[in-house]
Amino acid sequence: MTVFYSKYRFSFLLSSLLILLMITPLIHEFTMVSVILSIFLSYILISSVFTISGNMRFLRIAILLAVPSFLLNWLYSYNQNLLLERIALSGDIIYFSYLILALFLNLKQVSQVTFEVIAAGLSVFLLLGLLWCFIFALVESFIPGSFSGIDSAAGDPRFRFLYFSFVTLTTLGYGDIAATNPIAQSWTVLEAIIGQIYLVVIISGLVAIVLSNKFKKKESL
């Protein structure tokens, strides 16, 4: 089982991120919404640590950052107050920022494109959306009213901006939610730029690897 999980660790991470995206809007009115979302977030935290298990230096730092994030999110689920919300969000932002950087550096070193490599690339893209969800939530926590069109009473505050984050990341920009102050606007623009740069860099990189491997095969014939 451990070998199987290790072999398909990026597929497990990608599937957990997709499930989180699908269930979040469906359960926002549940009384136990924070607990349910914390379960999924905990699984993402644990499974994401395994994705960088090949590098011990990265792994040690990831565990050091993931454990406090794990504990803080569960603590917030059972004792929801503004201070714990801010601390939990800060922990999530720090951990996922590090995770994204570590995975991106690993992706830049791959020499062969496999399904797991593609799953890793997609996972990083979805993690960017999740990271900015937490950033937007933290901005709103410190500066209420930073975003228009957000129901401040609905769902878990940590995941209230999931929809807006992915609309921004993919540059769809429906306009139903908008940043209303300079800080929120700056983070919104930054997410849109990073999302597009990431897609260009990763797609061009993977295509270059495929073409390079094909060229090497032709030379060896």
160-168, long-range: CB within 8 Å, 24+ apart, which pairs? 161/132, 161/133, 161/136, 161/137, 162/21, 162/24, 162/25, 162/129, 162/130, 162/133, 163/25, 164/133, 164/136, 165/129, 165/130, 165/132, 165/133, 165/136, 165/191, 166/21, 166/129, 168/132, 168/192, 168/195
> Cα separation of 75 and 91, whole Å?
12
Residue in this structure with the two tokens 């623009």, named with its chain if needed: 189
- Mean pLDDT, residues 133-149 taken together: 93
Q: How confident is the model at residue 220 (pLDDT cuts 50, 70, 90)?
A: low
Q: Which amino acid is at 52?
A: I
User: What residues are paired with 178 via a beta bridge?
Assistant: 148
pLDDT for 66 equals 94
**What's the chain's Rg over C-alpha atoms?**
18
Count other C-beta atoms under 10 Å from residue 8's C-beta. 15
Which tens digits make up the pLDDT trace of 2-41?
Answer: 666 677 889 999 999 999 999 888 877 777 788 888 899 9
Q: Which amino acid is at 189?
A: V
What class is the 2-220 domain? mainly alpha
pLDDT at 159 over 90: no
pLDDT at 143 over 90: yes
Tokens of 199: 């897609």
Tokens of 159: 């995941």
> Would you list the domain boundaries of the chain?
2-220
Least confident range of 22-26, 33-37, 54-58, 212-216: 212-216
> Cα separation of 206 and 202, whole Å?
6
Higher pLDDT residue, 177 or 54? 177
pLDDT for 216 equals 67
Q: How confident is the model at residue 174 (pLDDT cuts 50, 70, 90)?
A: confident
